[in-house]
Amino acid sequence: MPLDATRLLLAGLAIAALYHIVTLVRAMKPAPTVRPTPVGIGIGVVTAFFDTLGIGSFATTTALFRATKTVKDALIPGTLNAAHTLPTLAQAFIYTQLVEVEPVTLIAMIVAAVAGAWLGAGIVARWPTRRIQFGMGLCLAAAAALTAAQALDVLPGGGTAIGVSGGKLAIALVGNFLLGALMTIGIGLYGPCMMLVSLLGMNPAAAFPVMMGSCAFLMPMASARFLRLGKVDLRAVVSIIIGGVPAVLVAAFIVKSLPLTALRWLVVIVVAYTAFTLLQSSRRPAEDTPAAA
């Protein structure tokens, strides 16, 4: 990207980070002392590390939350967005400078994703528990299928373009708007965004700044709405931030890449099972209580 566009994007990321930190501090003021847990920190380390390498964090974090019973189902969507914001911002700071993307395409797709997330968060934060469980179950099933497609290497290969225009840009904006909205239910943007970018004929590497930039800007907006409604587990949020930010730096600057096929199949199994249990839970009438106060 041109130097001015890069500086503008980095300044925006810095403002987004400051906004998120202020929002978190305000949310924690009326709450009792928030103490991080070893389990939560461990979840942050594992999910943020592999997220940086391209696995995605939302599906794996949801599976670990349910396996360890650390976060209630109704709080998972908000907790995912609030907890992974700072690790994702760290990724965005790194990858938007390493991979070239045409500025208009990048900025327009980011704005579309933010708009989708703002709309989605306002809706999902008021859903009853059973609807959240059902929505997350369907999204995780889709995430498992997408991860399986990645492991089988059957996703579109993409092209060499670093930007799109005209009709393709319109498709990119609508697609990223929908993906931003789905982020608030608990489906990660990474895999679907990479597929979208490849289908449009762009270089798959361009998906990294697009998806990380989109998430970096939309997650502070979405999590702010969840925080205002009290639909976030603050202890899990703080724990994941503590473990996640250093894990991003290790993955990006030290490890850089790993053979991930076997790990993807493990993720498919775990996420598919979690999707099944969420769908089963959504059929239990005893938990049908409003999600918002």
Least confident of 17-21, 195-199, 203-207: 203-207
- Each domain of the chain, given as residue ranges in start order, spans 3-285
Average confidence score pLDDT of the chain = 84
Q: Is the dihedral of CA 64, 138, 263, 209 positive or negative?
A: negative
Residue from 206, 238, 241 nearest 88 by CA = 241
- Highest-scoring range by mean pLDDT, 62-71, 150-159, 189-198, 257-266: 62-71
Res 2: pLDDT? 57
pLDDT in tens, 98-134: 777 888 888 899 999 999 988 888 888 788 888 888 8
Does 178 have pLDDT greater than 60? yes
Question: Are 17 and 86 contacting, i.e. CB atoms less than 8 angstroms apart?
Answer: yes
Q: Which residue is associated with the tokens 């997330």? A: 117
Close Cβ partners of 201 (under 8 Å, ≥ 6 residues apart):
158, 159, 161, 164, 168
Close Cβ partners of 169 (under 8 Å, ≥ 6 residues apart):
104, 105, 108
Tell me the whole-structure pTM to 2 decimals: 0.79
For range 57-75, the mean pLDDT: 90
CA separation for the pair 22, 20 (Å, rounded): 5
CA separation for the pair 86, 91 (Å, rounded): 9
CB atoms within 10 A of CB 261: 11
What SS3 state is found at 121?
A: helix
For range 209-216, the mean pLDDT: 84
DSSP label at residue 185: T
Comparison of pLDDT for 212 and 171, the residue scoring more: 171
Res 272: pLDDT? 86
Residue 191: both structure tokens together:
């895999």
Res 4: pLDDT? 66
Residue 235: both structure tokens together:
């202890």
